[in-house]
A and B are shown apart, each in its own frame.
Chain A
Amino acid sequence: MGLNLTDLTHLHLLLNHIPTIGMVAALALFLLALVAKSDDLKRAALGFFVCIALLALPTYTSGNAAAAHLADRPEDTQAVILAHQTAALRASLVLELTGLLAWVGLWQFRRRGHPAAWVMPSVLFLALVTFGLMAQAANIAGEISHTEIRAAENGAATAPTIAPGGLFDGKRISKTVKDLNWIWAASETIHFFGLATICGVVLLINLRVLGFMKGIPFSTLHALLPWGVLGFALNLFTGMTFFVAAADQYIKNPVFHWKIVFLMLVGANALYLTVFDETWKLPAGANASVRDRAIAGAALAGWFVVIYCGDMLPFLGNAF
């Protein structure tokens, strides 16, 4: 796959249904689970939220590629695109928070048999806010290319409902980050704190599954997962800062898009380690199943690729 701007625009048009329509389905499942008081359904809905949050990563990044692809559209369309980006950034940030909290719920389900009292109401609240914000972003986006649904007789775009210059305006964020050099340097430093923490957790857990340090029962290592997810969260938000501040240098580089693909896979691995029974039950001294060892090896390789792609951004591909 070339991952050029045209491909990525198609991808965006495909993926953009996941945070919107997917969110409706996940919310419906979650509400059903709460009403039915079914723990299995609750866990399924929480896992659904985590998956949507992971799939939102390429949805967001391919959006900037789509915007670059439409750079020659007239001014009124550009204003709509900018308003859509602002709405999408705000919605995506809340969605990522929803996904992180849903993961916390799953982790507590596994460790204690039930999540803490504040988790489920918070997930519900954040999911509802996400849905509202995503619907707004999607509604604005409809006017980008569907000129037939624009209100004006001549097909001109309606003035966007989100004014430029707000907190989530990508152009404003980009200017702020470029004006204040320390933001980039500080974000890079935090990004590496996150990287080291993630790697420590990932190494320990997967090496145990592969058969090193067999004296450790897996369930005790499970307690380390939140540190890995904390690192993931730090890197998600600092990474989004880099991306929003300098999107052009990322979207035209295939290495960046591969990094996002592998990030989703290793994110799914964290979900696997949290919810599946097989690894959880691995006692001290025992060998993991062949399947689990294969998954552990793939997870280590996946992180290797994520770090490689991240490091090679300035050197491979065509950006920078």
Chain B
Amino acid sequence: MTEFLTSIEQLGYSTWVREGLTIWSFATLLFLHDIAMALLAGTSIIINLRLLGFAPRIPLQPLGRLYPMMWTGFWLGAFTGTSLLMADANTKMRNPDFYVKMVLIAISLVLMQMIRKRVFSNPDQPEPNVKGLALASLICWLGVITAGRLMAYLGPVAGLA
């Protein structure tokens, strides 16, 4: 396992991300990872608040148009996240907190799609009650952010190069 993870860390791309000594490698990937969080989690959190009953006059259907933006956020996060993982594979893959974050992201995405199906696929139906789903989604996103943020503090932590 260690050998495999080390070989990933030693790939040219991983080394560039970690030791590139340019603002465009590690620092920019980290910044784009935050932008991804804003596009995906930020937008989903607000849709969930609306579904929970806040700002109830906002018409729901136009919010469905935010899904492509949220998925763009997901793929941006997946790409930048994978890059950051490759640069620091041994440390991150041994950190239980990393797996907590991955599981929570998977649950969040499933909830997001369930909400899409229930709320945004049937524009002619009256507003369905999806408060349970919305609350679960909200809590999962806050969990994802917490787990992600704490990777810098919990378990094995690599010092920045």
Residues in chain A within 8 A of chain B (CB atoms): 181, 184-185, 188-189, 192-193, 195-201, 203-204, 212-216, 219-221, 223-224, 227, 284, 304, 307-308, 311-312, 314-316
Contacts and interface: CB of A to CB of B under 8 A. Distances in A.
Given A201-B46, A204-B46, A216-B62, A307 B55 contact: no
Nearest to B27: A315
B62 A214 contact: yes
B62 A196 contact: no
B58 A220 contact: yes
Dominant secondary structure of chain A at its interface with chain B: helix
B55 A311 contact: no
A214 B150 CA distance: 39
A196 B38 contact: yes
Contact of B150 (A189, A212, A223, A315): A189
A196 B42 contact: yes
A189 B145 contact: yes
Contacts of A307: 31, 34-35, 38
- B interface residue count range (under 10 / 10 to 19 / 20 to 34 / 35 or more): 35 or more
Interface in B5-38: 23, 26-27, 30-31, 34-35, 37-38
B141 interface: yes
Nearest to A221: B58
Contact of B59 (A197, A216, A314): A216
Given A196-B41, A199-B39, A224-B55, 4 more contacts: A188-B149, A196-B38, A307-B31, A312-B23
B42 A192 contact: no
B149 to A, nearest CB: 5
B130 interface: no
B65 A212 contact: yes
B160 interface: yes
Contact of A185 (B23, B63, B150): B150
B65 A196 contact: no
Contacts of B57: 219-220, 223
Contacts of B61: 215
B91 to A, nearest CB: 17
B23 A316 contact: yes
Given A185-B149, A189-B145, A220-B58, A312 B46 contact: no
Contact of B55 (A195, A199, A223): A223
Contacts of B39: 199, 203
Nearest 7 Cβ contacts at the A-B interface: A199-B38, A200-B46, A200-B42, A223-B55, A199-B42, A213-B62, A315-B27
B37 A192 contact: yes
B63 A213 contact: yes
B110 interface: no
B106 interface: no
A311 B49 CA distance: 27
A201 B5 CA distance: 39
Nearest to A205: B46
B43 A204 contact: yes
Contacts of A193: 142, 145
A121 to B, nearest CB: 27
A213 B66 contact: yes
A304 B34 CA distance: 10
A284 B62 CA distance: 11
Interface string B52-96: 001101110111011001000000000000000000000000000
